Amino acid sequence: MPAIIAAYVTCALVWGTTWFAIRASTGPAGFPTLESVALRFTLATALLAPIVWWLRPRLGPWPRARATWAWMIVAGVLDAGSYTLVYYGEENIPGGLAAVLFSTQPLMLAVLLTASGMEKVRAADLVGAVIALLGVAAIFADRWQVSPAQVAGLAMLIGAVVCSTSYSFVLKRHAQGVHPLLTTIIFLAVTAGCLDLAVLVRGVQPMAWPPPRDATIALLYLAVFGSVIAFWSWLWLLQRLSLMVTSTLVFVLPVVALIVDGIWEHQLRLGARAYVGIGVVLAGLAVSLGTRRRA
């Protein structure tokens, strides 16, 4: 139990702070957006690969079934799509709001689990979904009055939630027999490969030299903590807890992200209606998952 709590808290604190770090690593004072996310996962893969090689005798066999490899590759491709949308979405909205939109993930996950026959949708799930959707509508209404670009950012984040929910489901269902560290290196490597290919196809954008200090620190933090440590911890949890329980991490992420935004975020501020929407979203999720956990 202490190890599970430690891994859970690690994911919550690290991922809760990565929203701000993403904005710090990109923009006029940082790296081009697509290059930034590609560098993050490429560095993470390069850092983790020697560790996996060193620990290889203790990690058990690599996936043997072709279907397992295929599904893990699908998960990596979805992750690349998710983080591309996150990075571009955060060009227009603050990290705290992005984290709140990600807190709708358990509702999408409940639909996937029910459709697959793993769980049934309960009345509390439906009530929580309706409440959360009202909260999202309130957030969108506030953003419409600010800037159409920010509405586009919100749409990108919702697309990222769909991708993230999908790869979480895939990994839970198809990667259970693989050591979490092996799953992590495969997952990160596929993500990095997709993003690097996207950069090459689009054409590499010019980057400042020497690299900007603050953006470089943020990029290294995202690579080491936000990718290697957090994903390793999350995949370890995924093999020990149910998918719905691990998804409760999204309750904590907005709290951490909003605190970080309140301290360091100066470019964008949320209006009163957006905060009301945030509260309604979290209330809906509490109704949905709170009763599930008690059950």
Task: Give residue limits of the domains in the chain.
Answer: 2-294
Q: For 62-87, write each residue's pLDDT tens digit.
A: 988 899 999 999 999 999 999 999 99
Q: For 116-140, write each residue's pLDDT tens digit.
A: 766 565 666 666 667 766 676 666 5
Over residues 274-278, mean pLDDT = 68
17-46 exposure pattern, b = at least 16 Cβ within 10 A, e = fewer: bbbbbbbbbbbeebbbbbbbbbbbbbbbbe
pLDDT of residue 125: 60
CA proximity to 192, closest of 41, 20, 24, 57: 41
pLDDT of residue 173: 85
Q: What is the rounded distance in angstroms from the CA atom of residue 267 to the CA atom of residue 250?
A: 24
Residue that is written with structure tokens 């190890």 in the block: 3
Q: For 198-254, write each residue's pLDDT tens digit.
A: 999 999 888 878 888 999 999 999 999 999 999 999 999 888 877 767 777 776 676
pLDDT of residue 209: 81
Quote the tokens at residue 58.
């203790």
Which comes out higher in pLDDT, residue 96 or 33? Answer: 33
Confidence check: pLDDT of 194 > 90: yes
pTM: 0.82
pLDDT of residue 265: 57
pLDDT of residue 83: 94
Confidence check: pLDDT of 144 > 60: no
| Number of Cβ within a 10 Å radius of residue 134 | 14
Q: Angle formed by the axes of helices 105-115 and 148-174, to 10°?
A: 40
CA proximity to 19, closest of 233, 228, 221, 231: 221
Residue 225 contacts residue 14 (beta carbons within 8 Å): yes
